[in-house]
Amino acid sequence: MPDKTLQIPTADGLADAFAAFPDDGEQHPGVLMYADGFGVRPVVRDLARELAQHGYYVLVPNFFYRHGPAPVLELPEFIGEDERPGVFAQVMPMIEAHTPELVLRDASAYLEFLTTQEEVSAGPVGVTGYCIGGLLAVRTAAAHPDQVAAVAGFHAPVGAAGPEIFSQLTAQAHFGHAASDLTPETLGELNRALDAAGVGYTSEIYPGTVHGFTMADTDSFDAAGLRRHWERLLPLLGRTL
């Protein structure tokens, strides 16, 4: 499975990025993958490689590039209960500085770069993300309805996007929520907002999971939750791309 590190030109400089794609010399649909708030690191690269094995060109930008190249933070190999407060103390100011305006400015650059890669086939793309990356995915899909046919977010605060953003979504969507993040009542409110906006979606709580369940380098990891994530993401991309 080939992979490479790239530089994406943006309005504010160069964003470093990781890409993985099949080693068959063919063109494949493009998928823009946003990491969680801990950034691009080995576990995220592994997710990209696994998705690429299913026939996609996967681009993972370092959306914190304004603070430096990945890894922006020196993370421990495993993020447990003891490490989490210190990591969050470093991450949260960067998340707060990454305003919706910057998100959309970067998203245009990322999509333009993705769709012009020689290994990427013509046609619509997918966008997926984890944690804060899921919110970035929703904002990206809403801003580019002519390009994005599928959007997914996992343990992501997608409700923060709000009804106005939902009304702009034309992509098919899946949202997999951690049981620790949403109550059934809150899930119902979110899904009613998606219904009212006319979004084609599935949105569900993954049983027994906590926030961050897809990330194997944290104590939040849940193997069953990760499998369920693939069982939802791959069909979504398969029927739309």
Q: Is the dihedral of CA 10, 14, 20, 22 positive or negative?
A: positive
Residues 212, 218 contacting (CB under 8 angstroms): yes
Separation CA 172–CA 57 (nearest Å)? 19
Structure tokens at 223: 């193997």
Separation CA 52–CA 32 (nearest Å)? 11
Residues 73, 87 contacting (CB under 8 angstroms): yes
pTM assigned to the model: 0.98
> Which helix or strand (DSSP H or E) is residue 225 part of?
helix 223-240
In this structure, the strands spanning 201-206 and 148-154 are: unpaired
Separation CA 158–CA 24 (nearest Å)? 35
At residue 1 the predicted structure's pLDDT band, cuts being 50, 70 and 90, is: confident
The fraction of the chain above a pLDDT of 70, given in percent, is 100
State residue 162's pLDDT score.
Answer: 87
Question: Residue 211 is part of a domain; what is its CATH number?
Answer: 3.40.50.1820
Separation CA 159–CA 186 (nearest Å)? 9
Enclosing domain of residue 183 = 3-240
Beta bridge partner(s), residue 173: 151, 201
At residue 110 the predicted structure's pLDDT band, cuts being 50, 70 and 90, is: very high
Structural domain count of the chain? 1
Residue 120 three-state SS? strand
Separation CA 9–CA 181 (nearest Å)? 35
Average pLDDT over residues 153-171: 95
Per-residue model confidence as pLDDT tens digits over 44-57: 999 999 999 999 99
Burial class (CB in 10 A: 0-12, 13-18, 19+), 6: middle
Instruction: Give all strands (DSSP E) within 79-166, no chain letters.
Output: 125-130, 148-154
